[in-house]
Structure 1
């Protein structure tokens, strides 16, 4: 059976002893990696300028030139020692300067092939190919960077092989003829800028303040002493005549204004972060090879990944009290493999109405919640048992500090009111339901999460009892799903032990 070669503009390496022709990455990858390394060292150069070289531009410039030459030299040497070969059934990658590594990745073992284009790579028409087999965390093979056409051809080669197609169709020019015109068909789901803005409003984030804080800590030698000491700033404000001269209502208004500004910064950070991640979001159904979902998104870094439908293990619908009031939901699929960001939960519709969610779910064979489905609430011990413990702890802290430190600490006991209120709300929203084919589990009040698991996808069901569960004859069910998170597994908390055992039999 003849193999159709993948057309590549990358330089080839002479044939090895076994007759296999290896290729090198695109030469522009030297520049891309060098620029990235230089950017990572800009802060270090700034530190050297202000500290070691005592603001001497000449010494700093010489150090920058030496660093630039070193980075480019090492990057070029690494590039010259990296090569790859695409065979009929596997990809071979050779790498390493001193210790050489010859890795073989069979097409049968590859679970996901994703493409990634950073901003500079998009301008140059290059892409990074990430191969994931599930044998380790993250990608198991990475080709950075290939011409975009070659990267797409490699992805199609792997997908065609896994679907039983031996070779790709080629036209008379020898170039790969794509059998998939997903761009010409209406997408399953897409987001314009207005929809991305709405999604950003609900993705409250303080990442901007975190970035500014990290920069300030790295340049703390330029800042005044006690800059990060809140008591220092409180003392400075208390000594300001302008602040002391304000009425009590004006001071309250100032505090409210500061709080509103903080919220505005959080919302602004969420909007910016969402635009960077979700810009141009498009989800398509692809039928070439193994049927799946093709997702493209990203402003500065464009990611293009395909998730096979048969690898979807569960559907997750996330929302909140405000988002749900306006009918917005975030649909994710729990899959066997991670996406380009290392997450096992793949975003399929970050900000969608329920009528937009249903067609996507139907593609996977997962059914949304039937209107007449009855959900069961867990035992109230989920909130009152922990509420007693929290009240005792807060009471002890309040009395101890109020007696020996300051009477104002007695007010700490009031913190129990909002904490217990949230616990009650979380209990009311923790529910489960079971149909003939699917398990539905709801959790959370502020961050509401509905997990829909086909029973055939359930791997394990554990029934556990803590020391506090035994006296109340309660138990917690932990449902094991392939590709699920070990840190946050799917649980049904605090249900009667007899109910838990009966539910376990139905799920198994």
Structure 2
């Protein structure tokens, strides 16, 4: 028997799917597709240089196809007992060893084209990396799911956990009614329209955009003037148009929510959470429960009207640009407060959530939250004074609202620390709760600004491996100095005695 035949099939080096080069090529073309369309449609071609331009286009396409084929032919991977080995490169050859135990997130992504070809893109992410440890474009769907299952089985913390065999348990689904509520609550339609308008302004010639706006504006005002409407009729018409615009934006938001969250399913298997979602493009991403570093609950005004909240998590994986929608950050897009709280208690057994007692921030410090708005309002009024004179002081009418908002925010602020969990809450118009297990904390920082020294307060910043992002920070603000020092000493001693759990 030959040496190659003696190696198990799963242990041999394997290639990606034969169509992998095509998907790599499409990914490269995606960066140049829109500029190329604009150049072809709006370019100033005079007919004399068409041959050279076509030849240059063919050369560029040939280079991209060649690069894609080389990447396919030089990419090899092998599944070992404890990890994944990947070889790539032609001139500069690389070999990467990825232990299963170091993989935090697993993402299986299928666009509509992937589903037509029966393939999927697999991404393996570890802590702290700006790029995935491995990004396989593309594998057969059954191979991608099998490799995901292998990571689940061999990436457990202990051999006892790896030996556990359990079926997948569904924790949450989003029925059509919930998806409709999610579309009504979110601003996806407005964001999509703004992004489309910005892209059109950047793509098309500026003169063409300005002329189009001017022409349509003249047509609308001309049509309105021919109707000879009074001021009341004009006001009713404008209000009706505004209502129709808002309704259309909400319909668009519902459609976008359906595309993104159709078939949403949060499941648990072998101590690992998995999220599946998407109508045309399907995304399946998973992370071990122990990899969750911090949690964030959010509740806006529309959430409260529908009695709903959203629940996000942070892992130690740094998301690359454009890949945030494929991560497992959004654990619960929309659910009732009781459902969110029950899910937290399920994933963190033994944790008291919500906390039984919140330490409130002294209400007398409300004025500190409106200092910056007051400063900017005074600056704007001073800038407008040479142009508007005393009318510039009308800007200061915003100060009462800033004071009211600051007062309400301070009333909502609070923090809680017990033997297992540290939590912070804040916000008023949009409320949020952020919390983390004490065993996931990596660093503490006690800081005092000049205002803190003047008012006898301090701030305590708590860092976890998932502290980055655009969400609220795990920070205790406006805490009385003695209380902040005692809490800092208590947590420092606790972190010194306990082991950091990833």
User: Is 1:51 paired with 2:43?
Assistant: yes
User: Is 1:29 paired with 2:13?
Assistant: no
The answer for unaligned runs of 5 or more in structure 1 is 7-19, 170-177
Query: Would the aligned equivalents of 1:25 and 1:143 in 2 still touch at CA under 8 Å?
Result: yes
> Residue in 1 aligned with 2:460?
477
User: Is 1:497 paired with 2:481?
Assistant: yes
Q: CA deviation at 1:484?
A: 1.8
Secondary structure (helix, strand or coil) at the match of 2:460 reads strand
Taking a change above 3 Å as real, the CA distance of residues 57 and 254 of structure 1, as seen in their structure-2 partners, is farther
Taking a change above 3 Å as real, the CA distance of residues 469 and 227 of structure 1, as seen in their structure-2 partners, is farther
CA distance in 2, matches of 1:475, 1:221: 53
Taking a change above 3 Å as real, the CA distance of residues 446 and 98 of structure 1, as seen in their structure-2 partners, is farther
> Residue in 1 aligned with 2:139?
146
Query: Would the aligned equivalents of 1:243 and 1:251 in 2 still touch at CA under 8 Å?
Result: no
> Residue in 1 aligned with 2:67?
74
> Residue in 1 aligned with 2:262?
279
CA distance in 1, matches of 2:265, 2:121: 19
> Residue in 1 aligned with 2:208?
224
CA distance in 2, matches of 1:256, 1:56: 54
Taking a change above 3 Å as real, the CA distance of residues 180 and 142 of structure 1, as seen in their structure-2 partners, is farther
> Residue in 2 aligned with 1:420?
403
Which of 266, 287, 298 aligns to 1:318? It is 298
**TM-score normalized by the length of structure 1:** 0.81
Query: Would the aligned equivalents of 1:382 and 1:493 in 2 still touch at CA under 8 Å?
Result: no
Offset from partner CA, 1:22-62 (integer Å, 9 cap, x none)? 22211111222333444443323323322142589976777
Secondary structure (helix, strand or coil) at the match of 2:312 reads strand
CA distance in 2, matches of 1:335, 1:156: 20
CA distance in 2, matches of 1:38, 1:415: 49
User: Is 1:192 paired with 2:185?
Assistant: no
Secondary structure (helix, strand or coil) at the match of 1:130 reads strand
Taking a change above 3 Å as real, the CA distance of residues 226 and 404 of structure 1, as seen in their structure-2 partners, is same
> Residue in 1 aligned with 2:495?
none
Q: CA deviation at 1:330?
A: 1.0
CA distance in 1, matches of 2:428, 2:119: 44
Q: CA deviation at 1:442?
A: 1.0
User: Is 1:133 paired with 2:113?
Assistant: no
Q: CA deviation at 1:220?
A: 2.5
Q: CA deviation at 1:262?
A: 5.0
Aligned positions of 1:20-419 closer than 5 A: 21-49=12-40, 50-54=42-46, 67-163=60-156, 181-182=167-168, 185=169, 187-205=170-188, 206-221=190-205, 223-224=207-208, 226=210, 240=222, 242=224, 246-257=229-240, 259-264=242-247, 266-287=249-270, 291-337=271-317, 341-342=323-324, 346-365=329-348, 367=351, 369-370=353-354, 373-380=356-363, 382-388=365-371, 390-391=373-374, 393-395=376-378, 397-398=380-381, 401-402=384-385, 404-405=387-388, 408-419=391-402
Report the count of equivalent residues: 476
Secondary structure (helix, strand or coil) at the match of 2:208 reads coil
Offset from partner CA, 1:218-273 (integer Å, 9 cap, x none)? 433275374599xx799969985845954333444455445445544543443343
CA distance in 2, matches of 1:338, 1:269: 31
Q: CA deviation at 1:403?
A: 5.3
The answer for unaligned runs of 5 or more in structure 2 is 1-5, 493-502
Offset from partner CA, 1:423-445 (integer Å, 9 cap, x none)? 23222221223344322321111
Q: Of the two structures, which has the highest relative contact order with CA contacts closer than 8 Å and spacing of 6 or more? A: 2
Secondary structure (helix, strand or coil) at the match of 2:303 reads helix
Offset from partner CA, 1:165-200 (integer Å, 9 cap, x none)? 69x99xxxxxxxx96542xx5x11111222112112
What root-mean-square deviation, in Å, do the aligned CA atoms of Structure 1 and Structure 2 show? Answer: 3.7
Structure with more of its chain in helix, by fraction? 2
Taking a change above 3 Å as real, the CA distance of residues 339 and 38 of structure 1, as seen in their structure-2 partners, is closer
Taking a change above 3 Å as real, the CA distance of residues 388 and 135 of structure 1, as seen in their structure-2 partners, is closer
> Residue in 1 aligned with 2:426?
443
CA distance in 2, matches of 1:228, 1:419: 39
Secondary structure (helix, strand or coil) at the match of 1:88 reads coil
Secondary structure (helix, strand or coil) at the match of 1:469 reads helix
Q: CA deviation at 1:450?
A: 1.2
Taking a change above 3 Å as real, the CA distance of residues 456 and 228 of structure 1, as seen in their structure-2 partners, is farther
Secondary structure (helix, strand or coil) at the match of 2:367 reads helix
Secondary structure (helix, strand or coil) at the match of 1:120 reads helix
Query: Would the aligned equivalents of 2:129 and 2:318 in 1 still touch at CA under 8 Å?
Result: no
Q: CA deviation at 1:315?
A: 2.9
Taking a change above 3 Å as real, the CA distance of residues 298 and 382 of structure 1, as seen in their structure-2 partners, is farther
**TM-score normalized by the length of structure 2:** 0.82
CA distance in 1, matches of 2:203, 2:291: 47
